[in-house]
Amino acid sequence: MTIYSPTYADDRAQIQDLMGRYLFAMDWHDTETYAGCFTEDGVLDYAMDTLVGRAAIREGAVKFRENVGRLFKREDGSPALLRHVLDQIVIRIEGDRAWTTAFWWEMTDGGPGRTPQIQSYGTYEDEVVRIDGQWLFRRRKIYNEFIPGRETPDPNPVIRFDEVADAAKKD
C-alpha cells in the first residue's frame, strides 16, 4: 500500500522547483513572477490579508516591496535584506492535484554588525494544481509562529492534507 504513484518523483521535483522559484521571486521582489506562481484564480492567505486572483496577489507583492524596508531594518536604520529559507516539505500528489506542508524560516542582515538574524518561522500549506503541464499554487496559506493568531494550529498539519488527498483519491 503506497500513497506514492510511479510518477511521484517527477511531480515532486517540479513542485519543489515551483516552491524555490516562489521564494526567489519574493526575496528579489519580482512581483510578476511571484504572481505567476499562482493560478489565475489563485488565493494567497497570509498574515495581512487574503488575496484572490493573480492581479490582487501581484498588487500585494508590490505593497510588500514598498513596506518591507520599514519592517526589517539594519542597525543603522537602512532597509535590511530579507531571505526566506525552505526546508522539509511533505507532498501528496493525486493526479493533477497536490497538497504540500512545508517548514519555512526567514533571516535578515539586521543582526549586530550586519550579521544574519533569524526573524521568524512557520508553515506553508498549499493546494497545487497542474494546468497545461505546469504546477501552480491554487491556494497558499502562510502560518507564522511569531504573529499572534497566525500560528500553525494543532494537530500535526500533515494529517489534514492526508485526509483531503485520501478523499480526492476516492473521487
Binding mask 118-157 for another protein (x = CB under 8 A): xxxx-----------------------xx----xx-xxxx
Q: Compose the 9-38 pattern: x for residues touching another protein by CB under 8 A, - for all others.
A: xx-xx-------------------------
Q: Compute the least distance from the CB of residue 134 to another protein, in Å.
A: 19
Using CB under 8 A as the binding rule, the residues of this chain from 88 to 107 that contact another protein are 88-91, 101-103, 105
Q: How many CB atoms lie within 10 A of CB 57?
A: 22
Instruction: Please report, for residues 11, 24, 44, the alpha-carbon distance to residue 73 in angstroms, rounded to integers and kept in the order given.
Output: 38, 20, 25
Q: Are 16 and 89 in contact (CB under 8 A)?
A: yes
Contact 142, 47 (CB under 8 A): yes
Amino acid at 93: I
Choose between 133 and 155: whose C-beta lies nearer to another protein: 155
Compare residues 31 and 119 and give the one whose CB is closer to another protein.
Answer: 119
